[in-house]
Structure 1
Amino acid sequence: MKNAALIFVLASIFSTFNVAQAEDVDPAVLKNVYDSTRNISGLITYCVDKGFLKSDSTVNAKKMVAYAAGMPGGLDTRDGDKNEAYGREGKGKGPDGKYESVESAAPQGVAAWCKGADEGVREGLKSVGL
């Protein structure tokens, strides 16, 4: 997953949070948001385990997941554990919906990718007041 794709995913997630609070959103969109947050949470854990991030990054990732899980609308969480497990293996969901290794898909290197993901989560949380 390239940084631009990750930033797009994070921006989409947090903008969907804001829309979901205001109106009904397609359940498929909510499922995608939830699954993406779980995958990103797993990826953040992967980055912490590799020594690229500090443990407080996982706290923020869990806040993001909790916020997504709290969206109204009968959220489908069935695939959450699977998506987080992929992330813990270092696999992110690309724009095409396929999982790919961060190590092979991050041209800037895994450490820089992890830093960008962490910053994206932190900024997203700020945008929703967390």
Structure 2
Amino acid sequence: MKNAALIFVLASTFSTFNVAQAEEVDPAAMKNVYDSTRNIAGLITYCVDKGFLKSDSTENAKKMVAFAKGMPGGVDTSDGDKNEAYGREGKGKGPDGKYERVESAAPQGVEAWCKEADEGVREGLKSVGL
């Protein structure tokens, strides 16, 4: 999982919400966004548990999940727990849909990855006024 993929998921989450307000959005795309936010929330918790981030990062991740869950039209949340559990194990969902350990997928190192992911969540929330 590359940081570009994470940034894409975060940007997709927030832009999908804006599009959903104007038109009907594909339920499969909405599910993918929700599942990805749950995985990222799990990864943020993993980073906090490792001591790379402070606990307020998990609160921001929860806000991101709530934001995705509240998108108009409803969202299939059936795989959310599974995706978050993978994240808590340090496994991120790559663009190919496969899970891989952050340690092997983050060439900049796990701590740097965690800080970049946290900043991505914070910026995304800020962009929608949260």
Query: TM-score, normalized by length of structure 2?
Result: 0.97
- The range that moved more, 111-120 or 10-19, is 10-19
Distance in 2 separating the partners of 1:57 and 1:21: 27
Distance in 2 separating the partners of 1:68 and 1:54: 23
Cross-structure match for 2:125:
125
Query: What is the Cα-based RMSD across aligned positions, in Å?
Result: 0.8
Distance in 2 separating the partners of 1:72 and 1:9: 18
Distance in 1 separating the partners of 2:41 and 2:64: 8
Deviation at 1:14, TM superposition (A): 1.4
Structure 2 residues not aligned, in runs of 5+ = none
Query: TM-score, normalized by length of structure 1?
Result: 0.97
Deviations 1:32-79 (A, max 9, x none): 010000000000000000000000000000000001111111310000
Are residues 1:91 and 2:91 paired? yes
Deviation at 1:3, TM superposition (A): 1.4
Structure 1 residue runs of 4 or more that deviate by more than 4 Å after TM superposition:
none
Distance in 2 separating the partners of 1:34 and 1:81: 11
Distance in 2 separating the partners of 1:119 and 1:41: 13
Distance in 2 separating the partners of 1:101 and 1:13: 22
Secondary structure at the counterpart of residue 76 of structure 1:
coil
Distance in 2 separating the partners of 1:65 and 1:53: 18
Identity %: 90
Checking the alignment, whether the CA contact within 8 Å between 1:18 and 1:128 is kept in structure 2 is no
Deviation at 1:109, TM superposition (A): 0.2
Deviations 1:5-45 (A, max 9, x none): 21122111211121122221000010001000000000000
